Chain A
Amino acid sequence: MSSNIENILDQPYEAGFVSDVEMETFEPGLNEDVIRRLSAKKNEPEFLLEFRLKAYRHWLQMEEPDWANVTYEKPDFDAIRYYAAPKKKPKKDSLDEVDPAILEVYDKLGIPLQEQKMLQNVAVDAVFDSVSVATTFRKKLAEAGVIFCSFNEAVQDHPELIEKYLGSVVPYTDNFYAALNSAVFSDGSFVYIPKGVTCPMELSTYFRINTQDTGQFERTLIVCEDEGYVSYLEGCTAPQFDTNQLHAAVVELVAFDNAEIKYSTVQNWYAGDEDGKGGIYNFVTKRGICEGVNSKISWTQVETGSAVTWKYPSCILKGDNSVGEFYSVALTNHHQQADTGTKMVHLGKNTKSTIISKGISAGVSQNSYRGLVKMSPSADGARNYSECDSMLIGDRCGAHTFPYIDVRNPTAQVEHEASTSRIGEEQLFYFLQRGIDEEDAISMIISGFCKDVFHELPMEFAVEARKLLGIKLEGSVG
Chain B
Amino acid sequence: MSSADETMAKHPFVARFIDQGRARSTEGLPQWWADFRTSALQRLVGLDVPGAKDEEWRFIRLASLAGEEFVAEFDADRQVNENELSEVTVPESAGARLVFSNGQFLPELSDTSALADEVTVTTWSQLREAGDLDEIHDYLDIADFWEDDLFYNLNGANFEDGAVIMVPRNEVVETPIHIVYLANGEGNDFAAHPRNIIVAGESAQVTVIEEFAGAGEGTYFHNVVDEISLGANAKVRHIKVQQDQTTAYHFARNVITLSQDSNYEGTAVNFGGQLSRNDSYARFDGKNIECTLDGLAYVQGRQVTDTHTAIDHALPDSTSYQLHKTIVDDRAHSVFNGKIFVRKDAQRIDSNQLNQNLVLSPRARVDTKPQLEIFADDVVCSHGATVGQLDDEQLFYLMSRGIDAERGQAILTYAFAAEVLETIGVDSLRERLEEQVLEVTSAVAE
Contacts and interface: CB of A to CB of B under 8 A. Distances in A.
A404 interface: yes
B369 interface: yes
A413 B387 CA distance: 6
Contacts of A390: 372, 374
Interface string A384-403: 00000010111111111111
A405 B373 contact: no
Contacts of A398: 373-375
B12 interface: no
A410 B359 contact: yes
B216 to A, nearest CB: 31
A412 B328 CA distance: 14
Interface string B97-118: 0000000000000000000000
B370 A416 contact: yes
Interface stretch (B65-73, B376-384, B438-446): B376-384
A417 interface: yes
Nearest to A384: B387
B372 A418 contact: yes
Q: Categorize the interface residue count of chain A.
A: 35 or more
B374 A399 contact: yes
Nearest to A401: B372
Q: Is the interface of B mostly helix, strand, loop or mixed?
A: strand
B357 interface: yes
A420 B382 contact: yes
A4 interface: no
A415 B388 CA distance: 9
Interface in B339-382: 344-345, 347, 357, 359-382
Given A390-B374, A407-B365, A420 B381 contact: yes
Given A410-B364, A412-B388, A415-B386, A399 B344 contact: no
B27 interface: no
A377 interface: yes
Contacts of A406: 59, 365-367
Given A413-B388, A414-B387, A415-B386, A421 B379 contact: yes
A393 B432 CA distance: 49
Contact of B372 (A410, A411, A420): A420
A158 interface: no
B55 interface: yes
B142 interface: no
Interface in A141-168: none
Contacts of B378: 395, 422
Contacts of B364: 408, 410
Contacts of A399: 372, 374
Interface residues of B, number: 37
Q: Is the interface of A mostly helix, strand, loop or mixed?
A: strand
Given A398-B375, A401-B372, A405-B369, A414 B382 contact: no
Contacts of B347: 395
B389 interface: yes
A409 interface: yes
A409 to B, nearest CB: 7
Given A402-B369, A405-B367, A414 B385 contact: yes
Given A393-B377, A410-B360, A410-B361, A405 B371 contact: no
Nearest to A386: B385
Nearest to B384: A417
Contact of B385 (A396, A416, A422): A416
Nearest to A421: B380
Given A395-B344, A407-B357, A407-B359, A416 B389 contact: no
Nearest to B53: A67
Nearest to B377: A392
A403 B385 contact: yes
B382 A417 contact: yes
A390 to B, nearest CB: 7
B380 A407 contact: no
B374 A404 contact: no
Nearest to B381: A420
B368 A396 contact: no
A395 B377 contact: yes
A404 B379 CA distance: 23
A399 B349 CA distance: 14
A277 B273 CA distance: 53
A419 interface: yes
Contact of A405 (B360, B366, B382): B366
A414 B385 CA distance: 8
A397 B360 contact: no
A122 to B, nearest CB: 39
A247 B145 CA distance: 37
Contacts of A395: 344-345, 347, 376-378
Contacts of B368: 404-405, 407
A417 B382 CA distance: 7
> Most chain-A Cβ atoms within 10 A of its Cβ — which of B367, B373, B380?
B373
Nearest to B341: A400
Contact of B387 (A377, A401, A412): A412
Interface string B233-248: 0000000000000000
Contacts of A419: 380-383
A189 B372 CA distance: 37
Contacts of B361: 410
Given A414-B386, A419-B381, A419-B382, A396 B374 contact: no
A403 B383 CA distance: 10
B182 to A, nearest CB: 35
Interface string A48-70: 00000000000000000001000
Contacts of B388: 410, 412-414
Interface of A: 67, 375, 377, 390, 392-422
29 contacts: A377-B362, A390-B374, A392-B374, A395-B347, A395-B376, A396-B344, A397-B377, A399-B374, A400-B374, A401-B370, A401-B383, A403-B385, A405-B385, A407-B368, A407-B387, A408-B364, A410-B364, A413-B388, A413-B389, A414-B387, A415-B385, A415-B386, A416-B383, A416-B385, A417-B382, A418-B384, A420-B380, A420-B381, A421-B380
Interface of B: 55, 59, 344-345, 347, 357, 359-389
Given A377-B362, A399-B372, A401-B370, 17 more contacts: A67-B55, A393-B377, A398-B373, A401-B373, A404-B367, A405-B368, A407-B365, A408-B366, A412-B359, A413-B386, A414-B385, A416-B386, A418-B372, A419-B381, A420-B372, A421-B379, A421-B381
Q: Which 3 A-B pairs have the closest CB atoms?
A: A392-B377, A410-B359, A413-B388
